[in-house]
Amino acid sequence: MQKRTLIIAGMHRSGTSLITQWLTRCGMQLGEKLVEPGPGNPEGHCEDVEFLKMHEEILANHNLPKTGLTDGRVDVFSVYETEKIKTIIRVKQQLYDQWGWKDPRTCMFLNVYKELIPDARYLVIMRDYRSVTSSLLKREFKVIDRKYLGRKYLSRLVWTIFRRARKKNAFYRANAEAYLKVWINYTRDILACIKKLDPDTFVVINYAMLSKEDTRVFWHLQNNWNFSLTYSRFNDVFKENLIGQDIDIDPYITNKSLVSHAKQLQDELMAYINLTPYAQPPWDLEEAEMELQN
């Protein structure tokens, strides 16, 4: 039987964890051990620990932050790094007929995975650059906020009433451009990869589409890419209350050319949502949900 591999590629805070939760419920093997839930993602990050640790090691080897929140690049892998990745892939291929993984850092290494797994399929998740930058700012500031809220009553009161708003504004101003550069870096790498792929091997979606169109994506995975799955509703894992209101990032971006560049890349990636052979099931979607559940 031909081995089938699914690479879930998307920038941090783009909904990749949510989609991985959904696909896991549908029966996709996306890692034996996944990263536990944390403050930034109470429902779980759903990252395969083996790939995550490997990516962190590679980034550290090249003097880049392990988080992957960087606009730096890894231009050349060492023999050791390549062979270690090959070993992980080889074990997965031996264990499973179909498997995949999700880790946002994967976007930085797509050119390597394209060579190592030539038959892989790519589920590319995109999210608006403003929403991603906003989400990163809010998540990272929460770390500071929790530190002060954990102090004694008087210190907590001073923080909440007098200092918090000023510190938040300063934090947003200091970091908004850096996070936008990360989004640009990841999106540029995604585009560079899919432009070299056969159109039948990738699908680009906006995660917000799935609350209404999960059956379309499921049908594509099952019928076009031959993954053996059991349908589960995306809305069973989607919790709208966890998605807060976006920050208006424009006041915090002084280099407006970054915004122009982000818009250009976003439009280019969005075009693939229409150009990708995005399957239209040959049956009514309401009937599909009932049929797939039976």
- Could you report the per-residue pLDDT of 228-241, keeping only the tens digit for each? 999 999 988 887 65
Decide if pLDDT at 290 tops 60: no
Q: Give 92-124 pLDDT, tens digit per residue.
A: 999 999 999 999 999 999 999 999 999 999 999
Domains of the chain in start order, with CATH, are 4-293 (3.40.50.300)
Distance CA 165, CA 290 (A): 49
Distance CA 203, CA 194 (A): 9
pTM equals: 0.88
Q: Give 245-284 pLDDT, tens digit per residue.
A: 889 999 999 999 999 999 999 999 999 986 444 455 554 5
Count of other CB atoms within 10 angstroms of residue 282: 8
Alpha helices in 205-254 (DSSP H): 210-219
Decide if pLDDT at 207 tops 80: no
Decide if pLDDT at 176 tops 90: yes
Distance CA 44, CA 34 (A): 8
